[in-house]
Amino acid sequence: MTTASILPPPFNTSLSDRSSSPSQSPPPSLNLITQGAEALIYRTTFLTPDQPCALKFRPKKSYRHPTLDARLTKARILAEARVLVRCRREGVLVPGVLGLDWDEGWLATEWIEGLTVRACLDGWLHRLEGEGGDGEEVKGEARKELEGLMERVGRAVGKLHEIGIVHGDLTTSNLMLRPQRRLEPSEVEECGGNVGRSLQGDMVLIDFGLAVQTVQDEDKAVDLYVLERAFGSTHPQAEGLFKEVLRVYGQSYKGAQVVLKRLEDVRLRGRKKNMIG
């Protein structure tokens, strides 16, 4: 019996027979969350209706030779699953692997409830910009909360690099804040809520499709550089907060300071590349 045959509909039908075109509606029980160049991400359930999961589906690519396409799909699904399993074993907070089928092209992982760090920063920074002169005390308290959030980002990335894994696509959209309590609808919408409460929770890393296992300081420095550029492009008013990420990262594991020194070289190369075009 294959893994797919024991799953409830629509998993027990061939996902690979479906076109990757977004114009085709997925089965009702599959909720498309996002679509990338290589994969589609759905929210659905696994085995039982009360087990939510994230389903990453890699459709067959008609422009590739079928044998090569099947080989690449298998390699990428297995690589991502192995990284996630290792992270869980080493204590890094990531979604748990629930199941996979490389022939059908899917990987099912635990669904992480919460908000992306990007959504949190967008909501909180917008809220602080709206505070008037009477809101200085709130601003001070909120900044402490934001710095606390950045500390957790630094520790999470440091722990990942300590065990020899580079994420490959570190952005504020791939960092999830899993709250210690269930958020109210208004908090989910605004990511404001009560200062000191809605930014409390665990930092969970998601989307390891480009992750690799490596001990190279250069690779880790590039990982940090990608995250730094993400902060600068999506939250320019919060660039100062990124210093807190690097401060905590530098204290997170033996060898982190070497990576931070290498980050300076990566930044210099990035600036030269931008100047040259």
**Given 17, 50, 103, 169, which residue is catalytic?**
169
Among residues 86, 110, 134, the one where a domain terminates is 110
Domain shared by 48 and 21, yes or no: yes
Domain shared by 101 and 200, yes or no: no
Tokens 């899917």 appear where?
Answer: 106
Domain shared by 258 and 141, yes or no: yes
Domain shared by 123 and 157, yes or no: yes
pLDDT of residue 126: 74
Q: Whole domain around residue 187: which residue ranges?
A: 115-276
- Report whether pLDDT(195) > 90: no
Domain shared by 50 and 134, yes or no: no
Domain shared by 30 and 121, yes or no: no
Domain shared by 64 and 174, yes or no: no
CB-based contact 230:172 (threshold 8 Å): yes
Task: Residue 18: give its domain's CATH number.
Answer: 3.30.200.20
Domain shared by 54 and 149, yes or no: no
Reading the block at residue 160, the tokens are: 């990942």
Among residues 110, 131, 164, the one where a domain terminates is 110
Domain shared by 128 and 42, yes or no: no
pLDDT single digits (tens) 69-79:
999 999 999 99
Tell me whether residue 169 is one of the annotated catalytic residues: yes
Distance CA 92, CA 190 (A): 28
pLDDT single digits (tens) 44-63:
999 888 899 999 999 999 88
pTM: 0.82
Domain shared by 129 and 258, yes or no: yes
pLDDT single digits (tens) 64-113:
999 999 999 999 999 999 999 999 999 999 999 999 999 999 999 999 99
Residue type for 172, please?
A: T
Task: Residue 158: give its domain's CATH number.
Answer: 1.10.510.10
Distance CA 213, CA 24 (A): 36
Count of structural domains within the chain: 2
Among residues 70, 85, 110, the one where a domain terminates is 110
Domain shared by 68 and 131, yes or no: no
Domain shared by 259 and 158, yes or no: yes
**What are the φ and ψ backbone dihedral angles of 203, each rounded to 5 degrees?**
-90, 120
